[in-house]
Homo-oligomer: A and B are copies of this chain.
């Protein structure tokens, strides 16, 4: 356990305890990165991971994220883990409010872990997991997870509720008990919380409360179908969509099955009838994977004032060894998405507000039969919409992040002969995580024209196939010269209709707007 002690040696309760010159140097390092995103929320320094407290309050959207700002400092390596806070009027342009909640109480001294938020009367109610360790002196470190509350006011000040809402660990479960997601239905507030049973299997626990103070355990969410949920469930999120109940969750430790569950960790969901909230009984269909890409984890949803179910998530690097690490940071969030249900599947689309980012546009229609440049240079920040009509035996290739010779690229392949869609990241830039494979794929129906949409930023691509029926999220780390787009069609021609919108950067709010 020596390493664990060492890791926590320079535990600080708040960034104030760290020399300002160090913070400035860390921030400086980040700005040298060639991979900075322009319209995605991204780590300011150190590690960004799970989004938290995604909500609407006081006329603003609020979005927090797990922040470990000093993770890559050395000599000494400081430890501080809390929430970082953004707010926005339009879900597009985000105002950075800085560090919000720090690991400064005895219940969360080793980390203000993930949680959620919900407007209650005139304040924002926050619930999160406080992480602490006990028995540290005897080298028998035990996790002590506590579900904690806080209230945020209109000045964005948070005050933690001193009394724990739910003490852990619970009998029959290990210390892995975290990520409360709060929601209200009828007379009760509820939270779903990720948990690990003592037999080291994952599950979701449901609690309810009349007053947000006294919480009663309802029990495990009990689906009608037998389903291995790995060794631990993280970040569960239950909500109603139309007349259906949806549970999104992150089962850890699923083994690869065909072209599913290939990442280190994955996100899955159940769709079913509305959950019986008095018992946790949930009558649902078979589990599905939410995103087929390389980097997608810890999603969280919210209900927008206009009734849309919005989704954010961590565009994760599972082992943190991405090429941005040497610039002192890692991690970004996805561009927000709207969820809908069709044919008992979740469909995902970039929120319509993306149009506010549009600057110039090119569009056209062409028959493709050989490798051709479609876009020459320019910023990689684009919203690309394609309609692809393949011949029965044609293989259509769409390369983004290409260099001028198209030797490097992120390659998208629609193989009509095989009804397959493949995205290949191997030549997209600096290699990372290749041990989990460099291709991701799904089956498609290429007898119909295929809708393909790509939201591209400087170092990411979010690919929406067939109106978001399948989505592939991923990070890529290209060189500066990789800003072309190429198309090709093998075997036979393919008709391509395209609309490519260039996207502006997220703008800064001015003082009087805040």
Contacts from A to B (Cβ < 8 Å):
253, 255-262, 264, 319, 395, 397, 411, 413, 415, 417-420, 422, 424, 426-427, 434-439, 441, 443, 490-491
Copies per complex?
2
Name the residue of chain B whose CB is nearest to the CB of A443: B256
Cα of A443 to Cα of B435 in the assembled complex, Å:
15
Contact yes or no, A256 B435, CB < 8 A = no
Contact yes or no, A418 B256, CB < 8 A = yes
Known A413-B434, A435-B490; further 10 A-B contacts with Cβ < 8 A:
A259-B259, A262-B418, A264-B417, A413-B437, A415-B435, A415-B436, A424-B437, A426-B426, A426-B438, A437-B441
Known: A255-B418, A255-B419, A418-B255. A424 touches B443 (CB 8 A): no
In the assembled complex, the CB of A486 is this many whole angstroms from the nearest CB of chain B, namely 14
Cα of A434 to Cα of B257 in the assembled complex, Å:
23
Contact yes or no, A420 B258, CB < 8 A = no
In the assembled complex, the CB of A410 is this many whole angstroms from the nearest CB of chain B, namely 13
Residues of chain B with a CB closer than 8 A to A415's CB: 256, 435-436
Question: Which of B253, B256, B261, B422 sits near A437, CB closer than 8 Å?
Answer: B422
In the assembled complex, the CB of A102 is this many whole angstroms from the nearest CB of chain B, namely 31
Cα of A397 to Cα of B260 in the assembled complex, Å:
21
Name the residue of chain B whose CB is nearest to the CB of A414: B435
Contact yes or no, B262 A260, CB < 8 A = no
Known: A424-B438, A426-B424, A438-B424. A443 touches B255 (CB 8 A): yes
Name the residue of chain B whose CB is nearest to the CB of A441: B437
Cα of A320 to Cα of B105 in the assembled complex, Å:
68
Contact yes or no, A261 B438, CB < 8 A = no
Residues of chain B with a CB closer than 8 A to A426's CB: 424, 426-427, 438
In the assembled complex, the CB of A490 is this many whole angstroms from the nearest CB of chain B, namely 5
Residues of chain B with a CB closer than 8 A to A260's CB: 258
Cα of A381 to Cα of B77 in the assembled complex, Å:
50
Contact yes or no, A395 B438, CB < 8 A = no
Contact yes or no, A258 B261, CB < 8 A = no
Cα of A397 to Cα of B262 in the assembled complex, Å:
16
Cα of A443 to Cα of B437 in the assembled complex, Å:
13
Cα of A413 to Cα of B426 in the assembled complex, Å:
15
Residues of chain B with a CB closer than 8 A to A261's CB: 418
Contact yes or no, A437 B439, CB < 8 A = yes
In the assembled complex, the CB of A109 is this many whole angstroms from the nearest CB of chain B, namely 28
In the assembled complex, the CB of A104 is this many whole angstroms from the nearest CB of chain B, namely 33
Contact yes or no, A258 B258, CB < 8 A = yes
Residues of chain B with a CB closer than 8 A to A417's CB: 253, 264
Q: Which of A255, A259, A490 has the most CB of B within 10 A?
A: A255
14 inter-chain pairs at a CB distance below 8 angstroms, sorted by A residue, are A256-B415, A256-B443, A257-B258, A257-B443, A258-B258, A259-B259, A262-B420, A319-B491, A397-B435, A418-B436, A424-B426, A424-B434, A424-B438, A435-B490
Known: A424-B426, A427-B426. A256 touches B419 (CB 8 A): yes
Residues of chain B with a CB closer than 8 A to A437's CB: 413, 420, 422, 424, 439, 441
Q: Which of A260, A437, A441 has the most CB of B within 10 A?
A: A437
Cα of A422 to Cα of B435 in the assembled complex, Å:
9
Cα of A325 to Cα of B439 in the assembled complex, Å:
28
Residues of chain B with a CB closer than 8 A to A264's CB: 417-418
Cα of A259 to Cα of B491 in the assembled complex, Å:
23
Contact yes or no, A438 B438, CB < 8 A = yes
In the assembled complex, the CB of A409 is this many whole angstroms from the nearest CB of chain B, namely 11
In the assembled complex, the CB of A251 is this many whole angstroms from the nearest CB of chain B, namely 13
Residues of chain B with a CB closer than 8 A to A441's CB: 256, 437
In the assembled complex, the CB of A255 is this many whole angstroms from the nearest CB of chain B, namely 4
